[in-house]
Amino acid sequence: MSLADRIMKIDRRIIYALIFIVIFLFSLKPMGIPVVTQPWVIDTYKLVESLQPGDKVLICWSLYPVSNEQIAGAVVILQHLCMRGIKTVHFQTQTAVDLVDDVMLNKVHPESYGQVYGKDWLWLGYISGLEAGQAAIAQNLKGTVTVDKYGNQLSQYSLWNELTNDARQFKFVLSPSAETPGTAGVLRQFQIPYGLKIVESGSAFSLGSVMPFYASKQYWGMVAGFPDCAAYEKLIGKPGIGSRSTDPLSAMGLLVFGLLLVSNIAYIISKLGGKGGSVK
Amino acid sequence: MSFLRREGPLIFTSVVAFFLIIEYYIANSQLTLIATFLNRSAMIVGAFLLGFGIINMTLIHTKNIIQRKPKWPFSLYLLILLFVTLVAGLIPPLGSNYYYLWLFNNIYTPLDPAIFSLIAFFIISTAFRALKIRNLEVSLMLLFTVVVILRNAPIGPATFPPIGWLGDWVIISINTGVQRALNLVVALGAIAYGVRILLGVERGYLKGAG
Amino acid sequence: MFSLKAGVTSTFIILIVFVIGMYIYMKISKKGMYFRRIPGLDALEECVGRAVEMGRPVQYSPGQKGVTDTNAPPTLAAITMLSYVAQICARKGANIGVSIMDAQVMPLVDQSLKEAYLAEGIDQYPKDGIQWLAPTQFSFAAAMLARLRREKPAAIFYIGHCEAETLMIAETGIEIGAMQVMGTEAVAQLPFMTAAADYTIYGDEIYAADAYLSRNVKTMGSLRTIDLGKLFAMLVIIIGSILSTFGISILTQILKW
């Protein structure tokens, strides 16, 4: 077997080991590679900056707690909202317990911005039915939930008493999503019927699928993936998980490029050598 | 099969679906109230059906254990974990007590991202194996993959800015156009499929083929 | 008392016209209509045949979601396709296993399998092969990978609403040497399916399965309506783009009405 064939048929465990080594090494020593601030990140930042203290924002979580990349954007936007004194109402359409607890209490720390639960933010908990749940919140917020995630009556909270059943009371809807109903559900239940601005946050993977909606301005802005998160952290002056994660991301990008280059060179050599290279 | 058993589900589905479609378009508070009730009912039925899955899982794995099928200890392990979690979740306050939260935060929460992270390895091994300059289509796919990967890696635009512009152009122009086209045709297909189900023309999911 | 909500009139009219057009086409369509080949659907019999030759089972999954949300159409389409695959399995004597994530589809899957086997004159259908694996995405993915490695199917069908676990299942299928047919309406997963699966059923082709496989004249007629809908959309886009370029926004105003 020629070298080219051996490269093309390489044991995938070697590739997996390379990936692990590269991520590990680049996580140890940050290099501070600059990030480009995309227009959708700037739009999101400007939207939050345009709000007044006391304005309300609805957060619709369609996530399991799978990875930091999926929540990094939401964390940095929530930090910005807390800094501006914006009130937030959270609900989730997936059954992940403690997602909002983990994000708000362990990562955002609203108390450090002077925000108090019940007065400045509320967690309504899991609303079942996926998109039907989103529709229920949009059409009839106060009729859909009566207790918060912790089992307490919502009527005791001042923020709940400020809310009405009109979805337009919220200045925008933040949609941290990776799962169904995600993007499409928020669009159908909040943007199209009520004209609410939507901001999406999630992994870089969701960038491609959300882009058509951003391009047509159905989505106002996005923070998708660690590079966007790092850019937003730079805008608000609070480096965090996004800034820490861009170096391993860069290393991975280079590794993948290198592997594709090597495999294609091996394939071409194998073809030119007259041997049928492996097809799949 | 009696008429009611055969046609009953179809009639019920059609009536409810027509009503919800009409409610989406017509502004009337009574219609909205009924629609909210129907949506809530769907939420409740959906949650209730989770019990089916648990019964199925219990029956299958109990059979594995009784018949000592290969790897039956894993079936026992699964059932123990299933019922421990179920019991933990039923201790008040429901779903928020110490034991359930401990299980969720310390076992499920780390495991989920661990499985998710396997995708990175699989994507790279798929790309290594499949993206070769075999024909025009695969070559184009390879080219755009490389451009977008380097665009997403901050080092790409930082060291070679045209990669950033090219990657943005691919995502904003080409990708957006293709996504819109695919979303449109999928939506049209889904509407047509839904209408076929409502009219009772499409019944393949209710019975055998043909 | 009853009035149309703001901003929905144009879509309501388009929907009514679409439905009426579909009804008319279903009535007037005749046998012998031309349809292009869908390789993924043509491959169903080939995959099951391969499984029979190798003495290994067939594995089918109707995707992630249930039937009470907006992902009902691909799930129902997947169950429709399951009934065809199950009938081929019953005819050729292949074992079939079905992996489910959303328990809502379990009664439908059970019924589909039962009816498919009865259609081939077999009373006993592989009820034990229907397994609910897990309710959450990556728990389902992990359980599915384990099931694939354990049972080593020779043919894998993963059709319906699919998300990130698609690639994991596809790669595992390649490792165990299975032939794979995958299909979804989730646009984001199509590139992974194209790269990893042997046959891919793209987007709305999964909705055409029943019509394509049964050659039922009525359902084939309704597919023709979808093509007309696409033609209409293309005309609107082209005319709208030209008008917008010259600053004429009348078409946009009509569509927002």
Rounded to a whole number of angstroms, the distance from the CA of B45 to the nearest CA of chain A is 9
Other Cβ atoms within 10 Å of C3 Cβ, number: 10
Pairwise CB contact (< 8 Å): A185 & C70: yes
In a domain, A278, yes or no: no
CB C43 within 8 A of CB C181: yes
Closest-CA residue of A relative to B126 is A280
Nearest to C156 by CA among C192, C120, C198: C198
In a domain, B73, yes or no: no
Pairwise CB contact (< 8 Å): A133 & B47: no
Per the model's pLDDT, the better-predicted residue between A259 and C253 turns out to be A259
In a domain, B158, yes or no: yes
H or E segment at C7?
Answer: none
A113 and A143 part of one domain: yes
Q: Which of B32, B104, B182, B186 to mutate against chain C (most C CBs within 10 Å)?
A: B186
Per-residue pLDDT at A270 exceeds 90: no
Per the model's pLDDT, the better-predicted residue between B166 and A29 turns out to be B166
CB C217 within 8 A of CB C31: yes
Rounded mean pLDDT, A56-74: 84
Could you give the residue ranges of the DSSP H alpha helices within chain B? 3-25, 29-48, 50-66, 72-90, 98-103, 109-130, 136-152, 155-159, 161-169, 176-198
Nearest to B53 by CA among C141, C65, C146, C133: C133
Pairwise CB contact (< 8 Å): B202 & C210: yes
A96 and A23 part of one domain: no
Rounded to a whole number of angstroms, the distance from the CA of A52 to the nearest CA of chain B is 32
Pairwise CB contact (< 8 Å): C69 & A192: no
Nearest to B171 among A19, A208, A227 (CB): A208
Please report the ipTM that was assigned to this predicted complex.
Answer: 0.86
In a domain, B26, yes or no: yes
For A145-163, the pLDDT digits (tens) are: 999 988 899 999 999 999 9
Nearest to C26 among B56, B60, B201 (CB): B201
pTM, whole model, 2 decimals?
0.85
Nearest to C188 among A64, A129, A208 (CB): A208
Within 35-64 of A, beta carbons closer than 8 Å to C belong to: 64
In a domain, B110, yes or no: no
A43 and A126 part of one domain: yes
In a domain, A201, yes or no: yes
A55 and A93 part of one domain: yes
Q: Please state the domain count of chain A.
A: 2
| Interchain CB contacts (distance < 8 Å): A and B | 146
A43 and A59 part of one domain: yes
Pairwise CB contact (< 8 Å): C68 & A205: no
In a domain, B102, yes or no: no
CB C169 within 8 A of CB C156: yes
Closest-CA residue of A relative to B175 is A208
CA atoms of A80 and A87, how far apart (whole Å): 11
Rounded to a whole number of angstroms, the distance from the CA of B2 to the nearest CA of chain C is 16
Closest-CA residue of C relative to B138 is C195
Q: What is the pLDDT along chain C (257 residues), one digit of tens a residue?
A: 677 777 778 888 888 888 888 888 888 877 777 788 899 999 999 999 999 999 999 999 999 988 877 788 999 999 999 999 999 999 999 999 999 999 989 989 999 999 999 999 999 999 989 999 998 889 999 999 999 999 999 999 999 999 889 999 999 999 999 999 999 998 889 989 998 999 999 988 999 888 888 888 878 888 888 888 888 888 998 999 899 899 888 888 888 77
CB distance from B50 to chain A under 8 Å? no
Q: Residues of chain B whose pLDDT is less than 50?
A: 209-210
In a domain, A276, yes or no: no
In a domain, B191, yes or no: yes
Q: For the residues of C153-193, what is the DSSP string, one character each?
A: -SEEEEEEE--THHHHHHHHHHHTT-EEEEEES-GGGHHHH
Nearest to C4 among B26, B116, B185 (CB): B26
- Per CB-CB distance under 8 Å, the chain C contacts of B26 are 2-5
Q: Please state the domain count of chain B.
A: 2
Pairwise CB contact (< 8 Å): C22 & B130: no
A83 and A203 part of one domain: yes
Q: Which of B91, B147, B176 to mutate against chain A (most A CBs within 10 Å)?
A: B176
For B6-60, the pLDDT digits (tens) are: 778 788 888 888 888 888 888 787 888 888 888 778 878 877 888 888 999 999 9
Residue type, A138: A
Rounded mean pLDDT, A67-89: 91
Architecture of domain C52-213: 3-Layer(aba) Sandwich (3.40)
A186 and A138 part of one domain: yes
pLDDT at residue A278 in the model: 44
In a domain, B170, yes or no: yes
Other Cβ atoms within 10 Å of A1 Cβ, number: 8
CA atoms of A267 and A278, how far apart (whole Å): 8
Per-residue pLDDT at A50 exceeds 90: yes
Tell me the sheet residues that pair with A51: none
Nearest to A65 by CA among B114, C218, C81: B114
CB distance from B153 to chain C under 8 Å? no
A217 and A80 part of one domain: yes
CB distance from C74 to chain B under 8 Å? yes
A8 and A111 part of one domain: no
Chains with ≥3 Cβ pairs under 8 A against B? A, C
For A218-252, the pLDDT digits (tens) are: 899 999 889 999 999 999 999 888 888 888 888 88
Structural domain containing residue B170: 131-210
A110 and A10 part of one domain: no
Q: Which of B26, B202, B203 to mutate against chain C (most C CBs within 10 Å)?
A: B202
Closest-CA residue of B relative to A251 is B153
A217 and A141 part of one domain: yes
CATH code for the domain in which residue A108 is found: 3.40.50
In a domain, B7, yes or no: yes
For the beta sheet containing A87-92, the strands, ordered from the edge strand earlier in sequence to the opposite edge, are A121-126, A87-92, A56-61, A170-176, A197-202, A221-224
Structural domain containing residue A26: 3-30+246-270
Residue with tokens 């309504």: A124
A193 and A90 part of one domain: yes
pLDDT at residue A246 in the model: 87
Pairwise CB contact (< 8 Å): A209 & B179: yes
Rounded to a whole number of angstroms, the distance from the CA of B170 to the nearest CA of chain C is 15
In a domain, A132, yes or no: yes
Closest-CA residue of B relative to A210 is B176
For A163-196, the pLDDT digits (tens) are: 999 999 999 999 998 755 577 788 888 998 899 9
